Amino acid sequence: MSARANILRSSAAHAILIAYTILALYPVFLVVINSMKSRRAIFNEPLALPTRESFDLVGFHTVLEQGNFLLYFQNSLIVTLASLFLVLLFGAMAAFALAEYRFRGNLLMGLYLALGIMIPIRLGTVAILEIMVAANLVNTLTSLVLVYTAQGLPLAVFILAEFMRQVSDDLKNAARIDGLSEYRIFFTIALPLVRPALATVAVFTMIPIWNDLWFPLILAPSDATKTLTLGSQIFLGQYVTNWNAVLAALTLAIFPVVVLYLIFSRQLIRGITRGAVK
């Protein structure tokens, strides 16, 4: 291939990728810049960047005054972190048992736990609500944590078991000879060695929990337990004609997710490309 053809091909590749990147980011960018403009500027020059005349933070004031966003944010944070902790701990424990010990029913147990990867937990909603009503857990964050833990476990066990199998046997046997209990081996040897996999599972588990609308809407719609996703959905519905407020609320909702993503994106991409899915 000649050098010129090469340059031509690579600039064509860049042109396509740049075009798609703009398509992916421009809608988000548009909302963010307009959230900082006055109402008139939003409508007259929607595509312009905020200037000194059009700069206006009135939307953000409305959001912070009217909505309980701090509380919703806190709820989302508690639910996500608690579920994440339980998924990682229980998932790693089960994965260790499946990968480390040979016992009757090992394969069957693995298949049983993997069932939940393909069948969405949402389909059990009717009965989940009945259980939560019976246990008096409706409108509590606990109900959400339980559901999300169950939802996250299958994939976590599946991926972590794959990595647990790669932990060197010599290391564990040496520890056994030194008299460490199986629990100590799990916590001090296996768990630290699969830390990269834990981070990957964490990102995969976190995103759907943070973004979920279905279970907060059904299990915990009260004002004290609303998550950020549900809270913004309701706020946006009420303020639908107040464009400043809607744009500001969207910007506030976008910001933490994107920052978290940028921090963890290398981990996420490495996790996907490492080939848990082949």
Partner 1 sequence: MSRPRTKRRPIRWHIVVFLAPAVLIYTAIMIIPLFGTLNLSLFTRGEGNTREFVGLANFVTLFTDPRWSGAFWNATWNNLWFFIVHMLVQNPIGIALAAILSSPRLRFAAFYRTAIFIPAILSFVIVGFVWRLILSPLWGVAPNMMDAIGIGDWFSPWLGQESSALTTLALISVWQFVGIPMMLIYAALLSIPDEVLEAAEMDGITGASQFWKIKLPLILPTIGIVSILTFVGNFNAFDLIYVVQGALAGPNYSTDILGSLLFRTFFGFQLQLGDPHMGATVATVMFFIILAGVSLYLFGIQTRMRRYQF
Work out how close the CB of 81 gets to partner 1 at its nearest, in angstroms, rounded to a whole number.
17
Q: Give Cα 215 distance to the centre of its chain.
A: 15
Q: Which one, 29 or 55, has the nearer CB to partner 1?
A: 29
Work out how close the CB of 64 gets to partner 1 at its nearest, in angstroms, rounded to a whole number.
18
Q: Which one, 144 or 195, has the nearer CB to partner 1?
A: 144
Q: Which one, 24 or 65, has the nearer CB to partner 1?
A: 24
Residue given tokens 């973004």 in the structure block: 211
Q: Which one, 64 or 93, has the nearer CB to partner 1?
A: 93
Work out how close the CB of 153 gets to partner 1 at its nearest, in angstroms, rounded to a whole number.
5
> Among residues 155, 172, 171, 169, which one has the least CA distance to residue 92?
155
CA angle 186, 162, 171 (to 5 degrees): 40
Q: Which one, 55 or 261, has the nearer CB to partner 1?
A: 261
Work out how close the CB of 6 gets to partner 1 at its nearest, in angstroms, rounded to a whole number.
9
What CA–CA distance (Å, rounded) separates 108 from 93?
17
Given a contact cutoff of 8 angstroms between Cβ atoms, the answer to whether 175 and 252 are in contact is: no
What CA–CA distance (Å, rounded) separates 223 from 230?
10
Work out how close the CB of 86 gets to partner 1 at its nearest, in angstroms, rounded to a whole number.
8
Work out how close the CB of 256 gets to partner 1 at its nearest, in angstroms, rounded to a whole number.
11
What residues contact 154, with CB distance under 8 A and at least 6 apart?
113, 114, 115, 116, 117
Q: Which one, 57 or 218, has the nearer CB to partner 1?
A: 218
What CA–CA distance (Å, rounded) separates 94 from 159?
11
Q: 261-269, long-range: CB within 8 Å, 24+ apart, which pairs? A: 264/199, 264/202, 264/203, 267/196, 267/199, 267/200, 267/203, 268/200, 268/203, 268/204
What residues contact 158, with CB distance under 8 A and at least 6 apart?
113, 114, 117
Q: Which one, 78 or 114, has the nearer CB to partner 1?
A: 114
Q: Which one, 78 or 268, has the nearer CB to partner 1?
A: 268
Q: Around Cβ 244, how many Cβ atoms within 10 Å? A: 23
Work out how close the CB of 236 gets to partner 1 at its nearest, in angstroms, rounded to a whole number.
5
Residue 65 phi/psi, 5-degree rounding, is -80, -45
Work out how close the CB of 210 gets to partner 1 at its nearest, in angstroms, rounded to a whole number.
7
